[in-house]
Structure 1
Amino acid sequence: MHAANVPTASPLRTILLCFIVAILEGLDLQAVGVVAPAMAATFQLDSAALGWVFSAGLIGLLPGAVFGGWLADRFGRKKVLIGAVILFGLFSLLTAYSASYEQLLAARLFTGLGMGAALPILIALSSEVASVGLRNMAVSLTYCGVPLGGAIAALIGLFSVSGDWRFVFYVGGVAPLLIAVLLMLWLPDSRAYRDQGLPLRDTSQALMGQGRGFSTLLLWCSCFCTLTILYMLLNWLPTLLIERGVSHLDSSVIQVLFNIGGVLGTLLAGRLMDKGRALMAVVLAYLGMFAALAALGMVEQLQGLYMAGMLAGACAVGGQLILYALAPRIYPAKVRATGVGAAVAVGRLGSMSGPMLAGKLLAAGAGMSGLLLAVSPLVAIAALSAATLLGRDK
């Protein structure tokens, strides 16, 4: 495709479109948790069967991130993003129309594939369209759509907008299909992709060769540890709070505050990085994560738990934003989406490990305080890896 035939669009419009897609992804990621009790009643699912419904979507995220980034580097960011958005929109709708448990699992799996493919492309696109001085803020503006979408899902559960659990999947299905049309009309392909020529055939060498191997490993390590903690909190925090005597309503409020904190944390982290204070962003994110985990385990007053929940979201989601903002800087344009996709995929391994690790520790009698203490070393490992990566990026 020649540059003359490519529709022009401002970077702001590209970032806005990516932000909207990220909101829809965040909405669907937390939708199952919001409607889980009603869904379980409809399909007569026990806890183990419901756990597989949660896992099916997360399992789909992993290959989606790997192959979505790889396909985007080979065939263009725009084409693959549109395909991914249509995929997760269609299968979100099919979640609502599932007539059996098996259909429900398949729908969640393919929804996860689409969402997994979309995220690394959103990060690569927003990084590439922004000026150098605003590149990290562009990524943060895009990525903050994910916790914002999660907050919307939590609000749907909090205020019970509809008695039908399928409502959230109607929204999560129709909206992406409408946005896909806007992407076709208004989203240009990445200039970096258009100008790069033929894609590289051996992307593994590109990720690990030319002095990038150690940086790639540091990025993967920090992504894995950070997402292990983030998804442990997303999945278990409401249950743990209720076990501490917090009401269901207050637990839902804390979940909403967690996601709002995530939005604020991503924006602050992106701004600090663009100001040349990336190390300060890392220190604030991971020290804050230590403090939030300790407060969630020890604070008794409800107002303190509200603040701890918001701080935990700001630091966990903000810490992940730092890594997603660093990832595009490590790799050349020819493999940028592949590199980001690989980092997202490794992080998804952590997102699957976190809830399982928490379950095993709680089953062993660790309790909330013991669980949060047990995962503290992961915070230190993530922080050290991110700080070392920053040192190599200079």
Structure 2
Amino acid sequence: MSKVVVLEDVVDRQRFNTVRVAVIVLCFLVMFFDGYELNLIGYVGPALISHFSISKAAFGPVISAGLAGFMLGALMLGDLGDRFGRKRVIIAGTILFGALTLIAAWSSSLGIFIALRFVAGLGLGGAVPNAVALNAEFAPARVRATTIGVMFVGYTLGGAAPGWAAAVLLKEFGWRSVFYLGSCLPLLIAATMIFILPESVRFLAANKRIKELRILLAKMQDEPLPVGDFEILSNEVKAPGSPSLQLFKDGRGPDTLFLWFAFVSCLTSILFVMAWSPTLVAGLGIDPGRAALIGAMWQTGGAIGSLLITRLLDRFGILTIAFSVLLAIPLVILIGRVGTSETVLMIVILIGGLLGSGGQVGLNAIAGTIYPTMIRSTGVGWAFGMGRVGAILGPLIGGSLVAAGLDVRNLYVVMSLPFALTALSVALLFFRGTKRARLVDALTG
């Protein structure tokens, strides 16, 4: 009788090993340069405006091109990882955005520059959902959300990195040097991933690539695999037909819609606070430089929340996110009511970011775990793509309310309300999961 190795047991029992370290570090770096690329333009904007001799009003498409590309890439390219493997898509996407960022630095016209930024965004949109899926598939269940949270600390640090690079390089070497840094390093990382990044064990199992799977499992186990012939048991299967359509099959439709609604509503509130707070706080009479620092406290809190909320998510389950975003509501309201005390504003925005953006990272973790392997990167891609709708709506709605003359106190009240819709969506996901678990117990008990 042949011996049996259960794939899920190997993944869940593993401790830190070279395979997990490689996945965590390389996916962290992918997210770091995702943050770098998507926030790059804001830090070199004045230099670009001067270089292309355009007005500030004409600069909008330059900012939005990469974001639009990411949204479309996440929606359209996420499922490539479910078809051809996570590793290939992550590497291809990283090469794409690295190479096009380098080429964009030497664009001969504004139109070419915008087009290159858009296509670079497509590469990011394909790489990031697959990096989330790969990280989730190698992480033990007990720390899966936390592992994804670590990834998104990379995004937060990467979002600030162009500012650090611009402060050091811009005056001496010009705006192109900031682009060089954001292109050459991703290309170097892509080359490293070719040799070091493993393919997902669950993807290998679903696609019956047994020889590769055995080699990888041997590196992940503390104990050696059985000698001689042995069978690898796994519940992973390959999806028939379109992975995107699978998001709505086998009872997954409501979960998919609730997840999308949670992403859209949560990012609507978050991006309003991030985009408008420096301006609104400065309007209270605070120095613009200090107002920018106060506004940055939201992202600082978000980095802390990425680790804290996902750790709580691993321990206490999905309702952690609902409570987190509900607690963010009074903090957002307080931003418009505490006056001009810089210390109080910093504390309020810091804690608000911890709860609000920390809750969003928790949603990212759910997107990485709620779907089976056969459609995981597709599910993550669609959730991220839909989330960009909220990222666009937040600043737009806020701008419309400001133009309509709504005062700051009530503005923050209105824009905190999407967090309540996020909590409702997460609660519905929880109750659907609980109902399914009870049904399984009734059928198998």
Q: Note whether the superposition's TM-score is higher than 0.5.
A: yes
Alignment check: 8 A CA contact 2:149 2:310 kept: yes
Match for 2:128 among 104, 119, 123?
Answer: 119
CA displacement at 1:77 relative to structure 2: 0.4
Q: Give me the whole-angstrom Cα distance separating, in 1, the residues matched to 2:245 and 2:159.
A: 36
Structure 1 gap segments, 5+ residues each: 1-7
Counterpart for residue 195 of structure 2: 185
Alignment check: 8 A CA contact 1:136 1:271 kept: yes
Counterpart for residue 264 of structure 2: 224
After the TM superposition, which parts of structure 1 deviate over 6 Å for at least 4 consecutive aligned residues?
A: none
Match for 1:57 among 57, 61, 66?
Answer: 66
Q: Give me the whole-angstrom Cα distance separating, in 2, the residues matched to 1:149 and 1:195.
A: 33
CA displacement at 1:249 relative to structure 2: 2.5
Match for 2:399 among 346, 352, 359?
Answer: 359
- Residues 281, 227 of structure 1: CA spacing in aligned structure 2 closer, same or farther, 3 A cutoff? closer
Matched, 1:294 2:351: no
**Secondary structure, aligned partner of 1:133:** helix
Identity %: 36
Q: Give me the whole-angstrom Cα distance separating, in 1, the residues matched to 2:305 and 2:277.
A: 19
- Residues 189, 146 of structure 1: CA spacing in aligned structure 2 closer, same or farther, 3 A cutoff? same
Matched, 1:162 2:170: yes
Match for 1:135 among 144, 149, 170?
Answer: 144
CA displacement at 1:91 relative to structure 2: 2.0
Alignment check: 8 A CA contact 1:154 1:255 kept: no
- Residues 156, 372 of structure 1: CA spacing in aligned structure 2 closer, same or farther, 3 A cutoff? farther
- Residues 290, 123 of structure 1: CA spacing in aligned structure 2 closer, same or farther, 3 A cutoff? same
**Secondary structure, aligned partner of 1:298:** coil
- Residues 248, 93 of structure 1: CA spacing in aligned structure 2 closer, same or farther, 3 A cutoff? farther
Per-residue deviation, residues 302-327 of structure 1 (Å, max 9, x unmatched): 11122223223222321111111112
CA displacement at 1:83 relative to structure 2: 0.7
Alignment check: 8 A CA contact 2:333 2:416 kept: no
Alignment check: 8 A CA contact 1:68 1:120 kept: no
CA displacement at 1:54 relative to structure 2: 1.5
- Residues 161, 71 of structure 1: CA spacing in aligned structure 2 closer, same or farther, 3 A cutoff? same
**Secondary structure, aligned partner of 1:246:** coil
Q: Give me the whole-angstrom Cα distance separating, in 1, the residues matched to 2:104 and 2:336.
A: 36
Counterpart for residue 95 of structure 2: 86
Matched, 1:257 2:265: no
Alignment check: 8 A CA contact 1:236 1:355 kept: yes
Matched to 1:52, the amino acid is P
CA displacement at 1:142 relative to structure 2: 1.1
Per-residue deviation, residues 186-228 of structure 1 (Å, max 9, x unmatched): 0011111111125431324421111111111110000011112
CA displacement at 1:17 relative to structure 2: 0.6
Q: Give me the whole-angstrom Cα distance separating, in 2, the residues matched to 1:119 and 1:86.
A: 13
Of the structure 1 ranges 203-212 and 136-145, higher mean CA displacement relative to structure 2 is found in 203-212
Q: Give me the whole-angstrom Cα distance separating, in 2, the residues matched to 1:129 and 1:81.
A: 15
**Secondary structure, aligned partner of 1:27:** helix
Per-residue deviation, residues 256-288 of structure 1 (Å, max 9, x unmatched): 4322211110100111011124423431x2133
Alignment check: 8 A CA contact 2:69 2:118 kept: yes
**Secondary structure, aligned partner of 1:97:** coil
Match for 2:359 among 319, 324, 328?
Answer: 319
**Secondary structure, aligned partner of 1:10:** helix
Of the structure 1 ranges 214-223 and 107-116, higher mean CA displacement relative to structure 2 is found in 107-116
CA displacement at 1:156 relative to structure 2: 4.5
Matched to 2:332, the amino acid is L
Match for 1:172 among 167, 182, 187?
Answer: 182
Counterpart for residue 104 of structure 2: 95
CA displacement at 1:42 relative to structure 2: 2.4
Structure 2 gap segments, 5+ residues each: 1-16, 208-237, 435-445
Q: Give me the whole-angstrom Cα distance separating, in 2, the residues matched to 1:343 and 1:287.
A: 21
CA displacement at 1:369 relative to structure 2: 3.1
CA displacement at 1:143 relative to structure 2: 1.8
Counterpart for residue 251 of structure 2: 211
Q: Give me the whole-angstrom Cα distance separating, in 2, the residues matched to 1:145 and 1:363.
A: 35
Alignment check: 8 A CA contact 1:61 1:114 kept: yes
Matched to 2:325, the amino acid is Y
Q: Give me the whole-angstrom Cα distance separating, in 2, the residues matched to 1:282 and 1:89.
A: 37
Matched to 1:340, the amino acid is V
Alignment check: 8 A CA contact 2:318 2:426 kept: no
Q: Give me the whole-angstrom Cα distance separating, in 2, the residues matched to 1:244 and 1:109.
A: 36
Matched, 1:245 2:285: yes
Per-residue deviation, residues 207-255 of structure 1 (Å, max 9, x unmatched): 1111111111110000011112222233333222333333233233234
Q: Give me the whole-angstrom Cα distance separating, in 2, the residues matched to 1:383 and 1:67.
A: 28
Alignment check: 8 A CA contact 1:288 1:311 kept: no
CA displacement at 1:352 relative to structure 2: 1.8
Matched to 1:180, the amino acid is A
Matched to 1:306, the amino acid is M
**Secondary structure, aligned partner of 1:208:** coil
What is the aligned-residue RMSD (CA, Å)? Answer: 2.1
**Secondary structure, aligned partner of 1:144:** helix
Q: Give me the whole-angstrom Cα distance separating, in 2, the residues matched to 1:35 and 1:367.
A: 32
Matched to 2:154, the amino acid is G
Alignment check: 8 A CA contact 1:66 1:345 kept: yes
**Secondary structure, aligned partner of 1:340:** helix
CA displacement at 1:160 relative to structure 2: 5.6
Matched to 1:171, the amino acid is L
- Residues 230, 70 of structure 1: CA spacing in aligned structure 2 closer, same or farther, 3 A cutoff? same
Matched, 1:15 2:6: no
Matched, 1:308 2:348: yes
Q: Give me the whole-angstrom Cα distance separating, in 2, the residues matched to 1:167 and 1:313.
A: 31
